[in-house]
Amino acid sequence: MDPLAKVSILSPLAMLQMHHHKPKKSWVRSVMSDVKRSLLDMSPGGKTDDADEEPDDHVESNETFAEFCTRQAQNVVHFLVEDWFLSALLGIITAVLSVGMDVAIEVLQHAHVTFYDKMLAISSYLAFSQWVAHIVILTMFAAIFCQIVSKQAVGSGIPEVKVIMHGFKMENYLTTRTLVAKMVGLTLAMGGGLPIGKEGPFVHMGAIVATLLSKITSACQYSAFFSNEGREMEMLSSGCAVGIACTFSAPIGAVLYAIESTSKYFAVKNYWRGFLAATCSAIVFRCANFFVTAEQSGTITAFYQTRFPTDCFLVEELPIFLLLGFISGLMGSFFIFIHRQISIFRSKNRVYKLIFRNNFLAFTVFMAFVVGVLTFPNGLGRYFAGRLTFRETMADFFNNCTWVSNDSRRCPDTILTHWTGGSEGDVSIFTSLVLYYILYFVLVAICISINVPAGVFVPSFIIGAAGGRLMGETMVVLFPEGMRGPGGPPIHPGLYAVVGAAAYTGAVTHTLSVSVIICELTGQLSPILPVLIAMLMGNAVCKFLQPSIYESIIRVKKYPYLPDLPPSRVSVHTVKVEQLMVTDVIYITKDMTYREMKEILQLAPHLRSFPIVTDHENKILLGSVAKRYLTMLLRRHVLVNQQDSRNIGRMTPSEIFNTIRRTSMRLSRRSPSRRSNSSQTRENSVPETARSDAPSDQVEFVSERTISGNTLLSISPLHCPNNIPLQAVFTRPSSADLSKTETNADILLNRNIDLDEIAIDAAPFQLVLGSSLYKVHTLFSLLGLSHAYVTDCGKLVGVVGLKELRDAMANIYVRGAVAPVKPDRKLTSGTFLDMSHMNKDKLLNTPQTPPANGLSINMESPKFGNSLTVPPMAL
């Protein structure tokens, strides 16, 4: 029988006996190897992909079973701590901060109304003073606190987080001071009664908490996981999701909204971290609701619970919802336009600057006073429920009853008194809704730009709900018995308020996840179809007319950010990269000298990288090199050698000072009698003494930089009564030494550079001629590029940066994409080799003539190229 066949039919018992025949230690190692193979999903008898490359004899590990279990346990602990624990901790910490702020805001708002009622019982003037003073004082404290602690806490925070997540560093926006200022400022501003929201500041707070957790865990050196830059972006994205979840207790919609509002491209593998953090924050909210209200335990409480029937709308109403979405899109784009014009007016108008004098507090306090006067309940506020907070107003708008009908579906009097002018009921509900819509439309556009933390999401919700409720009540008046007549389903004005809120908010923020947030807020899925129809229409209209409110703020503040392309623009496909690029490029060649490289670094100090080409004729792109490496190369081969040659006979400033101090101390120790007795002897022997005290083997070269007022101390020989010659300390260089040093420097500068000693990026990102603006924008957004070189069959013909793209898209909503003008992007240096005989200003204005191929080339072609590549902000 074949021996191989015998081996193949061995029973498991025989194999076990064979194991027992082996030494005990060897048998344990074999079992360990089998266990590790099973954990790694490797078959002991099978072969892996690398089996052919490995030797036949298996190399057994010296790791024991206990060590193996310990290592696996450490891997599990690291996984739980680095992923699950951090995400959960992020959600819990942010939710706890949010609950505390919500309680404080509710206390301040309740105190506002309570003290108003008490003052009203005494005098209406006292009531007016208390109502206005509460808003003004708390708003003033909020602005002052933010100004003192952290100016970066002012505003929404989402535009800044959006810029940071796209790779641009912004100082002091993700610090503990900003977190404290954001919390205190938002609590005071909202508690005072300003018409602002909290979702933007909460997103900023979540991002700050995520950053602080990342910094804390960066001290863990056992793994490179925490130091990964991609990990920081994942934590920031999770922090943004937690911020929205803390605002509405809507974990699903929060994750989707955070992705839409802060990221252009999102890695799906990071999805679960955001959901985990948002879920943990929702659990904390549920626990807080349980301890505060002890109601509806077991589920996440919806903020604005609605009770619409399953068939709450008819097919005939869908065109009305579409019209509501269209109007919401128009009004959303107009809101963004008004807000941007107000910001530009405040920054440029001379009358405004003359009145408020750029004082951070003056306009903020003025707007708080205006809000207090307009919302005074016994004044103009009587006509549009100025007494109510946003939460109470939203509950009235979403209510399933009607305000104009007199049948069983009529709202109770407690709600109607808010919108009919009080107990008198002499105000029409249409007048109240129109006034509410117009006043808050303007007030919100102004208040979100003052110097306090402010969000725009919740105010947009309220404005959209007011417009939807207005249309819903109008439909009830037009069709009192429903669109199908008696016996048919009635019209629900609350549904129109829900649809209007979603459509307007989605239009202002350019997001679609608002529909999911609406479902989580209301606790119902029945209005999802009209919500989607109206929101898609409003989003499409506003995207065509204006950028989102966050990108508009980015443009106003001039942050370094590449905006999104609006839909359906033909110009983004017709404008090519050769119309955008800078054609005159400063480049490095392989045969360049250190002198040429030094002049390049001096003429372009703002550039951070330079392309490397083969020669001046072909200009085949070989790669790119960072400026710091060129500086290091120049310092290593030129400056260090030159400094060493000059320091052969030179003392350092510290050595000069020590010599002066030692000489002064020796002179001060001499007694007066000895000085008087030996005066004549010293006068005769000063030169010899000086020469003996001075070091004979060291010669000091003195420059204007080394001799300063700090060096000439009162105890120095210059102030000593003894006439000690300065040659004992200082020695000027001779003309022969200076000429020798200059000759050595010229020899060093005229050598060719050695690029083999520095790190070169051999594959910089390149674009080819004919690439459209749409393609360039997509690549820059997806890869996070700051600049890209343009080549034609490998030849460097230009470079395009973020500034060129932003300039081309500056007026894209009005005129479409337009190629920018390039004269301000030119830095020529035609004959830099003779810099000593030519004024540098003349080099910056070298005349040019356009050649036949359309590229701009200097009349005197420089040896190393000529022009600026990318702006300082872009590189």
The predicted-structure confidence for 767-797, as pLDDT tens digits, reads as follows 988 888 889 988 888 887 888 999 988 889 9
Domain boundaries along the sequence of the chain: 77-293, 317-324+389-557, 566-639+743-821
Domain 317-324+389-557: which topology?
A: Clc chloride channel (1.10.3080)
Q: Which two tokens stand for residue 572?
A: 């983004």
Q: Which one has a higher pLDDT value, 698 or 391?
A: 391
Q: Supply the pLDDT for residue 434.
A: 94
Q: Is the per-residue pLDDT at 460 higher than 90?
A: yes
Question: What DSSP element (H or E) covers 788?
Answer: strand 787-792
Question: How high is the pLDDT of residue 659?
Answer: 57
- Residue 853's pLDDT band (cuts 50, 70, 90): very low
- 77-293 has which CATH code? 1.10.3080.10
* Distance in angstroms (rounded) separating the CA atoms of residues 380 and 438: 13
pLDDT at 822: 58
In this prediction, residue 529 has a pLDDT band, given cuts at 50, 70 and 90, of very high
Amino acid 783: pLDDT: 83
pLDDT mean over 654-658: 56
Highest-scoring range by mean pLDDT, 114-118, 595-599, 621-625, 831-835: 114-118
Nearest CA to 705 among 659, 656, 653?
653
pLDDT above 70 for 640: no
The per-residue pLDDT for 503 is 95
What pLDDT is recorded for position 694?
37
Write the CB contacts of 329 (distance below 8 Å, at least 6 apart in sequence).
503, 507, 537, 538, 539, 540, 541, 542, 545
Amino acid at 355: I
What's the CATH number for 566-639+743-821? 3.10.580.10
Rounded Cα distance, 235 and 241, in Å: 10
Amino acid at 396: D
Quick one: how far is CA 93 from the chain centroid? 21
pLDDT of residue 652: 54
pLDDT digits (tens, 9 = 90+) for 551-560: 999 989 888 8
**Residue with structure tokens 């959209």?**
464
The CA-based angle 616-620-621, given to 5 degrees, is 110
User: In angstroms, what CA-CA distances link 39 with 76, 81, 617, 768, 772?
Assistant: 13, 22, 60, 49, 51
- Return the structure tokens found at 135: 């808003």
Q: 172-181, 284-293, 390-399: which range is least confident on average?
A: 284-293
Split at pLDDT 50, 70, 90, the class of 277 is: confident
More confident residue, 501 or 408: 501
- pLDDT value, residue 654: 55
pTM score? 0.73
End-to-end CA separation in angstroms for the chain:
77
566-639+743-821 shares the fold of 317-324+389-557: no
The rounded mean pLDDT for the chain is 75
Q: What is the pLDDT of residue 509?
A: 92
Q: How confident is the model at residue 594 (pLDDT cuts 50, 70, 90)?
A: confident
Band (469; pLDDT cuts 50, 70, 90): very high
pLDDT greater than 70 at residue 451 = yes
- Which of 166-170, 313-317, 331-335 is most confident? 331-335
User: Residues 210-242: pLDDT tens digits?
Assistant: 888 888 776 554 455 455 566 677 778 888 888
Contact 874, 786 (CB under 8 A): yes
Q: Is the pLDDT of residue 398 over 80?
A: yes
DSSP string computed for 44-81: SSS--TTTTTS-SS-------HHHHHHHHHHHHHHHII
Task: Tell me if 415 sits within 8 A of 396, measured CB to CB.
Answer: yes
Task: Give the pLDDT confidence score for residue 190 in this predicted structure.
Answer: 93
Check if the beta carbon of residue 465 is closer than 8 Å to that of residue 500: yes
Q: ∠706-711-712 over CA atoms, to 5°?
A: 125
* Residue owning tokens 């902000």: 873
Indicate if the pLDDT at residue 742 is higher than 60. no
When pLDDT is cut at 50, 70 and 90, the band that residue 762 belongs to is confident
What is the rounded CA–CA span in Å between residue 499 and residue 322? 10
Where is average pLDDT lowest: 158-167, 230-239, 554-563, 839-848?
839-848
